[in-house]
Amino acid sequence: MKLDMEIKELTSLEEMLPQFDLMHLMYTKMTPEKYKSFLEVMIPNHYSQVAVFENNECIGVTGLWFQTKLWCGKALEIDNFIVHPDHRSKGIGKMICDFVELKAKTLGCTNIVLDAYTSNFLAHRFYYNQGFGPKGFHFVKILDENGLT
């Protein structure tokens, strides 16, 4: 890890709001207002973010959900894993995954879970390299195309 990189968990709205620009790379239709309104609902429901900063600029971020599921018990779910395109292949994704794994173990989780779009082959390769593998299918029935970000 470079000396000028820092990784930290973001737990408050005030810490997460400034990461909108990076999230916007994945969700181009999302507005800052919608991002804020979603976070206001998500944070009280065990949502946090893990972010990597280089010279105080956020260059990688993922959301985390701590939850209990019937099929596995305590689990940590990775949500919206983004590394800025200018900073890919620098080990930032691995830094985030290592941080998440340590947090999951600390919380007594039995699994770390995530979804990846079926067409995102680069993400698939990355997740395989981090020790993840498919367990099943995540089926989606879209009810409102306009509501998607």
In the chain, the amino acid numbered 18 is: P
Number of domains the chain is built from: 1
Please give the Cα distance from 62 to 13 (Å, whole number): 15
Q: Which of 5-9, 74-78, 138-142 has the lowest mean pLDDT?
A: 138-142
Report which of residues 146 and 85 the model is more confident about: 85
In the chain, the amino acid numbered 91 is: G
Could you report the per-residue pLDDT of 63-122, keeping only the tens digit for each?
999 999 999 999 999 999 999 999 999 999 999 999 999 999 999 999 999 999 899 999
Phi first, then psi: what are they for 66, rounded to 5°?
-95, 125
| Percentage of residues in the chain having pLDDT higher than 90 | 88
| Residue 33: alpha-carbon gap to chain centroid | 20
How large is the average pLDDT for residues 118-141?
Answer: 92
- Contacts of 16-21 spanning 24+ positions with Cβ under 8 A: 16/43, 16/49, 18/58, 19/49, 19/51, 19/58, 19/61, 21/58
CATH of residue 85's domain is 3.40.630.30
The pLDDT value recorded for residue 144 is: 87
Confidence of residue 140 (pLDDT cuts 50, 70, 90): confident
Task: Residue 66: give the domain boundaries.
Answer: 5-147
